[in-house]
Structure 1
Amino acid sequence: MKRLSLVLIVALLRVLSVLPYKFVARLGMVVGTVLFALPSRRKRIVLVNLGLCFPEKTSQERQTLAREHFRHVVRSYLERGIQWFGRAQAIRDIVQIESKIDLDDEAAPPTIFMGFHFVAIEVGCMLYSTHLPVASLYTRMSNTALCDLAKRQRGRFGAEMIERATSARKIVGLLRSGKPVMLAADMDHGIDNSVFVPFFGIPACTLTAVSRLARLGRARVVPFVTEVLPNYEGYKLTIFEPLVDFPSECDTVDARRMNAFLEEQIVKFPEQYYWVHRRFKHRPPGMASVY
């Protein structure tokens, strides 16, 4: 059954990859609207997250925001067709790029591109890999066949895909060799190598990998965000200035700065952040589960 499911997923994505982008995007929004109307565990997670992070909003406002988020999430799944099986030029045609740094600087220092889980993160990473060499960290999925497919398709333009559990020594070696590394550290991966720092005022289990790798690799940390543009106009990849005085000597301070930067970006388009993830899965000692 798993094999059959994978075959059907690949077939669907290949079909979607040749359909017009705006059609696929609109279809995703429609399917997302339908799925939001049905009871689901993921819908409940979204509403819990929004309730914690936006207590000032009314219940109706959070319902509206949750519905828009569901629409964007489902849309992003359907758009995997273009991202995983479309031509490189098809991706370039729908993604704008605005960079505060010179991406062609051959004398650039070791660089960590720090991403965040907005619904369009994948297409931003793939666009970058069509232009320049890069290594990208990924988290292994429980479905091995689907994980292998995702790894293969995400790296098909030359990105070196590295599992998150890989030795830090290899990642540091890549940084020191001059190859940028893309990673995202804004999800709850457990209390190991993490600290609890505020995220919209709520203690959130936050990875310290960014500052630790930057320190070991003597790397600058450059945030990037990919947003979905209105009116089905595609996406915009924004690459920011390197964070100043980062990393510091304290992982907790760095994690708080990372979350603060993320909060600033989320409020610009909150419906696009990945609220379906259990961001507060782990809680500080003595604090009850919220899910």
Structure 2
Amino acid sequence: MPADAGVAVEPVVDEPAAVADLGSERALLVADVHAGIEVGLRYERGVELDSRADDRRERLCELVAETDADRLVVLGDLAHRIAAPEGDEREELESLIRAITDRVPLTLVEGNHDAGVSETFAGRIDVIGPGGGLLGDALGGKGDDADGTRRGGVGVLHGHTWPDPALLDADVICMGHEHPQVRLEDAVGGSRVERAWLRGEIDPAAFVEDSTNADTTSRSADPPELVVFPAFNERSGGTWVNVDGQSFLAPFLPNALPAGDAYLLDGTRLGSFRGV
């Protein structure tokens, strides 16, 4: 997947993760870890699966080391339970957060599954609220314009709520929540589902809830790119973006992404996600 011209957000080949150069820091970004998902599936659907908690924790730590990251940023849904974490899920989170923060700082962008996580682990993780924010503001991204307005950098949000309009000041915006997937068919009628990236220019007017009260016109000629991350957790399902009748989860999608490409984890470009 090509990098944005202003800010480098480079996917890690064959992984649902990307690296962002923030100037003063190199950040590893992932979305939708859903720690404790096996516990949730047991109670929600009666499905019994062996826990992959150790695999998730070890792979995240390996990715931090392999990418030489200075920070891990989780784009929402670090946890699976939509409540304060407890029991086995809390134990998984405790172990995961300890393993990561022993190495690098951890920033969580609050997702709809993260209720109580920031409070439970206060002082051990940095938190960005559900509306999102600019990583450059907190982590040393780009400087100010001549008029003092902050411009550029990497914007982050989960995607379950309408975003903070200030994200339109970013060069590139990274989000989770959607868990994009594509269903691919072969010549003999077989099919498979694979996790995918989505990337394209944002329509600023469709990205914010009330565009009449937000400065979207100044970005209309040079809008930021939107990168929709695949879910880190392969058991969390997702939106089949190339199947008719599939509804997007984010309130601003697909309208805020009028044209965008889909990519597989290995970097294969599939073309327009609307026509895969």
Normalized against structure 1, the TM-score is what?
0.30
Higher helix share: 1
Normalized against structure 2, the TM-score is what?
0.31
Higher relative contact order (Cα pairs below 8 Å, separated by 6+ residues): 1
